[in-house]
Homo-oligomer: A and B are copies of this chain.
Amino acid sequence: MPTADFEERCRRSFGLQQFMATLGARLVSVHPGEVIIELPFSSHLAQQHGFLHAGAIASILDSACGYAALSLMSEGSAVLSVEYKINLMKPAAGSIFRATGKVLRSGKTLSVCTGTAEANQDGTWSAIAVMQATMIALKEQSALED
């Protein structure tokens, strides 16, 4: 069950991610178990053919999945990515990109999430990538370093 301040916790953590600011990503919505992040295209994020770099797509998908997991975690938890897998279904061509992360299983320790990235080209959204991810709830930051 999400805590009363689940949205605030996600937004605070997102605000601390300087890499999200570097990308130009924006936390659009936080619901219990579902988070949406948007990213406008910018040439400084391009790969060799001028499309959005897959690394940028993966980064917002990873964050959307991570915050979706965090939104269901108990008080005092921090979230870290254990692993993820991404399939790139189409070149990332578009003016704006949207990553939606959803929790499939929320456990005391591990959460399993699924994510979908869509591109908006000429007003139409289409799916360009999918992610399957494992997140871990940590009580303290040092816990991963066992």
Bound-state CA distance A36–B80 (Å) is: 26
A96 at the interface (CB under 8 A from B): no
- Chain B residues lying within 8 Å of A124, measured Cβ to Cβ, are none
Find out whether the CB atom of A112 lies under 8 angstroms from the CB atom of B84.
Answer: no
Copies of this chain, count: 4
Chain A: interface secondary structure?
mixed
Query: Is the pair B146, A109 in contact by a Cβ cutoff of 8 Å?
Result: yes
In the complex where A84-B86, A85-B85 touch, is A53 in contact with B45 (Cβ < 8 A)?
Answer: no
Report A's interface with B, CB cutoff 8 A.
13-14, 16-19, 21-22, 43-49, 53-56, 58-60, 62-63, 78, 80-91, 104-105, 107-110, 112, 114, 127, 130-132, 134, 136, 141, 144-146
